[in-house]
């Protein structure tokens, strides 16, 4: 995608909010108070958005806003999966890689969400790493960033510790990293690290997050989890045999969103998905054709408040499979 198009995606939050207000009012017949509740703004702001849309000639017999088709798709995903907010980045190449457009859209959402005093837990992966250039940083007082997964020595740019550190730097925040590998050699080693080496204190912080920013790994040999070298091809095949369709923080899950009974899942140094589910704001940021089943499963297990994905993935979510809600 051209750099100008990528840059434009980071500037569409006001347009997106206005288009959603227009859609909810003129197509779904929602009241202004209902729209205010759905969008998390006050009724006066809704009135202004609708008035601004009329001044821009975006409301005629049909909605002429350029994002109208995407808004329709976003609403379909929201209603089908019970997600409070879905952001769909425009992307129509079935053979292409949507990572950068998803990252651009996510950067804008993350920038708008961050506030002083927050504790933010972050996952890892190529998609999240690519959000960094699109996040508007700044000094936020009493702001803390907690890595939710152990480190990966061979991963270079996609190391969970590296992403968490750079994210913390954007906001001049305190960073809390996990000084242990993401996957250890045995359940006994995992237990010893958690109970005797102080890691449990970091995971206790992960139980009191204001926001969790997470991505999804697929089960394909091309996804980041297997490029790191922690999991072998035989691991991947045995995980598939056990029913795994992908992972969140190296926790491998089946299509129902349940953690599969596989020895890898007993060796992972990461935050508990069950406990992360209690986080008030959960952003799930992922897409790509090899991850459709994994994303559907992750929606089931995490119940995200916001999903940020690409157009092709969103279409697949509403045209195949069953509801996750």
One pLDDT digit (tens) per residue for the chain, 325 residues: 544 444 445 446 788 899 999 889 887 888 999 999 999 999 999 999 998 888 887 876 444 556 778 899 999 999 999 999 999 999 888 888 999 999 999 999 999 999 999 999 999 888 999 999 899 888 999 999 999 998 865 545 556 678 898 999 999 999 998 888 888 889 999 888 887 777 878 889 999 999 999 999 998 765 555 555 567 888 889 999 999 999 999 999 999 999 999 999 999 999 999 999 999 999 999 999 999 999 999 999 999 999 999 999 999 999 975 555 4
The DSSP call for residue 88 is E
Burial class (CB in 10 A: 0-12, 13-18, 19+), 159: buried
Assign domain 3-66 to a CATH class. mainly alpha
Q: Which of 274, 321, 270, 261 is nearest to 295 (CA)?
A: 321
Measured distance CA(249)–CA(254) in Å, rounded? 14
Assign domain 80-319 one CATH number from 3.40.50.170, 3.40.50.150, 3.90.320.10, 3.40.50.1360: 3.40.50.1360
- Please answer whether residues 223 and 294 qualify as being in contact, where contact means their C-beta atoms are separated by less than 8 angstroms: no
- Please answer whether residues 38 and 85 qualify as being in contact, where contact means their C-beta atoms are separated by less than 8 angstroms: no
The residues of the chain that CATH labels 1.10.10 are 3-66
Q: What is the layout of strands, in order, in the sheet containing 246-248?
A: 217-218, 246-248, 251-253
Q: Which of 112, 104, 177, 157 is nearest to 138 (CA)?
A: 112
Measured distance CA(282)–CA(152) in Å, rounded? 24
Query: For 143, phi and psi rounded to 5 degrees?
Result: -105, 130
The residues of the chain that CATH labels 3.40.50.1360 are 80-319
């Amino acid at each position: 995608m051209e750099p100008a198009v990528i840059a434009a995606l980071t500037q569409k939050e006001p347009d997106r909010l206005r288009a959603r207000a227009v859609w909810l009012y003129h197509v779904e017949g929602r009241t202004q108070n209902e729209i205010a509740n759905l969008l998390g703004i006050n009724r006066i702001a809704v009135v202004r958005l609708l008035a601004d849309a009329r001044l821009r000639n975006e409301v005629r017999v049909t909605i002429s806003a350029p994002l109208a088709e995407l808004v329709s798709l976003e609403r379909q995903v929201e209603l089908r999966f019970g997600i409070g907010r879905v952001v769909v980045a425009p992307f129509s190449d079935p053979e292409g890689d949507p990572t950068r457009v998803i990252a651009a859209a996510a950067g804008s959402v993350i920038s708008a969400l961050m506030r002083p005093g927050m504790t933010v837990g972050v996952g890892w992966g190529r998609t999240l790493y690519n959000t960094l250039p699109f996040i508007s940083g700044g000094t936020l007082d009493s702001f803390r960033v907690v890595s939710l997964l152990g480190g990966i020595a061979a991963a270079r740019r996609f190391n969970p510790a590296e992403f968490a550190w750079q994210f913390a730097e954007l906001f001049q925040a305190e960073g809390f990293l996990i000084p242990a590998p993401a996957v250890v050699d045995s359940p006994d080693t995992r237990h010893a690290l958690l109970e005797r080496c102080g890691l449990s204190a970091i995971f206790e912080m992960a139980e009191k997050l204001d926001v969790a920013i997470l991505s999804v790994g697929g089960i394909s040999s091309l996804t980041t989890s297997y490029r790191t070298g922690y999991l072998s091809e035989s691991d991947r095949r045995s995980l598939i045999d056990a029913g795994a369709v992908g992972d969140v923080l190296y926790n491998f899950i089946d299509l129902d969103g349940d953690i599969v009974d596989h020895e890898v899942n007993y060796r992972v140094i990461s935050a508990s998905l069950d406990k992360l589910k209690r986080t008030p704001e959960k952003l799930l940021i992922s897409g790509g054709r090899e991850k459709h089943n994994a994303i559907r499963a992750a929606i089931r297990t995490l119940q995200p408040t916001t999903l940020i994905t690409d157009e092709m993935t969103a279409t697949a979510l509403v045209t195949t499979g069953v509801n996750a809600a």
